[in-house]
Amino acid sequence: MSGHSKWNNIKHKKEKTDAARGKIFTKIGKEITICVKAAGADPVMNPRLRVLMQNAKAANMPKDTVERAIKKALSKDYTDYKEMNYEGYGPHGIAIFVETATDNTTRTVANVRSYFNKLGGSLGTSGSLEFLFDHKCVFHIAKQDGLDLESLELELIDYGVDEIVEDDEDIVIYGEFAQNSAIQKYLEDNGYEITSSEFVRIPNDTKTLNEEQMAAVNKLIERIEEDEDVQNVFHNMAEPEDEE
């Protein structure tokens, strides 16, 4: 299957983004707050919260920061975050999908539009580019001695999983977004240790640019990613394979 290699090729310099630990903590904190507000603060009863707490652990997020995110959701003064998506074209016709969590949609849409306008792109209407991306859930599980990946993949096909690959550190499972809860339940019920989980949008087709064109697109993506309301940015620009 091609999903894993495609995702590795198109993700936008994740290592560089992950270096900004404050941004990572803010992102996870918002996810935890939204999750607790929706389904409660008990991780036993809230499956999504369980994996978000694992994500926090994997990111070395301080325990008190996690606790503050939970308390914020339970506070009477809590202002709801709204999860809003924005779609547009960057330079050279590259599709860009922006996921945000914001307490002020007027501010967020104005900011996102300004980034597109100033850096050679244009913001489109909601839903206009969603068809260009496949929405997937991704689970990372700890390796186990004697684990047969082919057998596991056969078991999980009925749960909407379309690829399982082994990385240096763990095993990565890609599945349909709508099957996230079912996949998580199977993994937990069968004793697999989920080390982290995320949702991604993988382009169903990519566009190849030259180095100069890529630099223009990357400039826009980096500016969008700097915004405090932005959670994730996905695009359909093919990035060159890492040189051996």
d(CA 52, CA 66): 10
Whether 11 has a pLDDT exceeding 50, the answer reads no
Whether the Cβ atoms of residue 236 and residue 10 lie closer than 8 Å to each other: yes
pLDDT of residue 100: 98
Whether 56 has a pLDDT exceeding 70, the answer reads yes
Between residues 239 and 55, which one has the greater pLDDT?
55
Say how many Å lie between the first and final Cα of the chain, rounded. Answer: 23
Cα–Cα distances in Å, from 55 out to 12, 18, 134, 225? 20, 13, 22, 19
Q: Confidence band (pLDDT; 50, 70, 90) for 4?
A: very low
Tokens of 217: 């697109």
pLDDT 10s digits, 198-207: 999 999 999 9
| Residue 67: how many other CB atoms lie within 10 Å | 12
pLDDT 10s digits, 89-144: 999 999 999 999 999 999 999 999 999 999 999 999 999 999 999 999 999 999 99
Would the pTM count as exceeding 0.75?
yes
What's the whole-number average pLDDT of the chain?
A: 90
